Copies of this chain bind each other. A is one copy, B any other.
Amino acid sequence: MINNRVELITIGDEILIGQIVDTNSAWMATELNQCGLKVVQITSVSDSRNVILTALRDAAQRADIVLITGGLGPTKDDITKACLLEFFGGEMVFNEDQYTQVEKLFSSFGREVTPINRKQAEIPSTCKVLINERGTAPGMWFEKENTVYVSMPGVPYEMKWIMAELVIPELKKRSGLPSIVHRTFLTQGIGESLLASWIESWEDALPEHVQLAYLPSPGLVRLRLSTTGRDEAALHEELNNQAKGLYTIIGKHIYGEGEQSLPEIIQDYFIDKKLSLSVAESCTGGNIAHMITGIAGSSAYFKGGVVCYSEELKINLLGVPPDVIAMHGVVSEATAIAMADGARKTMNTDYALSVTGIAGPDGGTEEIPVGTVWIGFASAEGCMAKMFRLSTNRERNITTASLSALNLLRRKVILGEALT
């Protein structure tokens, strides 16, 4: 049996100079948590011998399992393997199985194995090799003084496969530890402080062993309840009871739980009810369509969209009457409604969303400042539009407007809220 404290070490100057965002650690932490393993620290160090060796040594003080990513690419800036050899001892040996895998992979791309890739099949004799079916660098499983160390390539697509298929199953088998149970409630459209004031008395009444965390991101606030113990059923029961209280206070603002996203929730509902959707996007510039089509299977309900950055396309492709734009302006309730209505009719769908606004940072006026966004909705029963005042930050505004539009769709279609 091994204990449950995990440290993640990422190796690579590219993280320390900021050219790469470390998305691996978040993914790994999520997966580890789900099987009751707890990440106690994430450490990013550079591609240099001393700091790698120090990081390997120090991690064993804090953790029972050390998962190392990065520093195993085919190119010459990588010294991780030499450090592993120095730290764990042994000698470099050529691994036939990994090499066969590399050859298979390259032949599927119609390419020849280069000498550089061949070198990747050389592995310290002190490790158990984790054959990488997704790439050329294998994973390596070492054990030293009761600590497990696993080294994996940093390419997310490869690391995820090795983790899911080889590392997590083995760690699960060996541990026998208390479970952590989380439940995460997803809200859209209410700020963190306002949400906190609404649920203050519920939060204050939570028992000691239940923790609440606020996880804000642009346009969303997630609320996470956590508790730890041996009796998993009792932990779920406890969180279920607490969740009831939360739903009583802010139920209609909770669009989902856990890893669900608004596009997924909408997709499940629309496919189940055999409904169709189209979108007309001006200031969100295709982001709503992108979010929707990021989900596999979305073609079963999403027919498509028009990104009408120019007035001309609003008129020609969506049939927005030119005098609506002339009278009310491009960023107006009337235009948003005409766009949604036009999208629904042109693309022949049950529902349509539209967005018109000023994403910024420029283009605002005194009357219509940057961050003003009208979101329109069209159905067989009629149309409506709602105004939002967002920030002056283009990226945040695009994200928040897209989420607000999808949440409006959810509330109108799934919750069946009135049009007005």
- Pick the contact of A44: B41, B293, B393 (CB < 8 A): B41
User: A30 and B19: CB pair below 8 A?
Assistant: yes
Interface residues of A in 11-48 (CB under 8 A from B): 13-23, 25-33, 38-46
Q: A290 at the A/B interface (Cβ < 8 Å)?
A: yes
User: A308 and B317: CB pair below 8 A?
Assistant: no
Q: A215 at the A/B interface (Cβ < 8 Å)?
A: yes
- Pick the contact of A288: B157, B286, B305 (CB < 8 A): B286
In the complex, what residues of B have CB within 8 A of residue A293's CB? 284-287, 307, 309, 359, 398
Q: Show the binding face of A for B, using Cβ within 8 Å.
A: 13-23, 25-33, 38-46, 51, 73-77, 111, 114, 116-117, 136, 155, 157, 182, 184, 192-194, 196-197, 203, 211-217, 222, 224, 226, 279, 281, 284-290, 292-294, 296-299, 302-310, 312-313, 316-317, 346-348, 359-362, 391, 393-396, 398
Q: Which residue of B lies closest to A301 (CB)?
A: B309
A19-B224, A41-B43 are contacts. A307–B307 as well, Cβ < 8 Å?
Answer: yes
User: A21 and B23: CB pair below 8 A?
Assistant: yes
- Pick the contact of A193: B114, B299, B303, B362 (CB < 8 A): B114
User: A25 and B26: CB pair below 8 A?
Assistant: no
User: A213 and B304: CB pair below 8 A?
Assistant: no
- Pick the contact of A17: B30, B294, B307 (CB < 8 A): B30
Could you give 25 example pairs across A and B, Cβ below 8 Å?
A16-B42, A17-B30, A17-B224, A18-B26, A20-B215, A21-B25, A73-B192, A73-B214, A74-B193, A77-B213, A117-B193, A157-B396, A285-B293, A286-B292, A286-B307, A294-B398, A296-B361, A297-B362, A299-B309, A303-B312, A304-B307, A304-B308, A304-B313, A316-B346, A317-B347
User: A203 and B76: CB pair below 8 A?
Assistant: yes
A289 to B402, CA, bound (A): 14
User: A18 and B43: CB pair below 8 A?
Assistant: no
User: B16 and A193: CB pair below 8 A?
Assistant: no
User: A77 and B212: CB pair below 8 A?
Assistant: yes
A18-B25, A289-B286 are contacts. A310–B299 as well, Cβ < 8 Å?
Answer: yes
In the complex, what residues of B have CB within 8 A of residue A212's CB? 76-77
User: B33 and A18: CB pair below 8 A?
Assistant: yes
Q: Which residue of B lies closest to A136 (CB)?
A: B193
- Pick the contact of A192: B18, B75, B217 (CB < 8 A): B75
A198 CB, nearest partner CB in chain B, Å: 11
User: B216 and A73: CB pair below 8 A?
Assistant: yes
A74 to B191, CA, bound (A): 11
In the complex, what residues of B have CB within 8 A of residue A33's CB? 17-18
Residue of A22, A51, A394 most packed against chain B (CB within 10 A):
A22
In the complex, what residues of B have CB within 8 A of residue A316's CB? 346-347
In the complex, what residues of B have CB within 8 A of residue A27's CB? 18
A381 CB, nearest partner CB in chain B, Å: 23
User: B30 and A294: CB pair below 8 A?
Assistant: no
A73-B216, A296-B361, A309-B302 are contacts. A17–B182 as well, Cβ < 8 Å?
Answer: yes
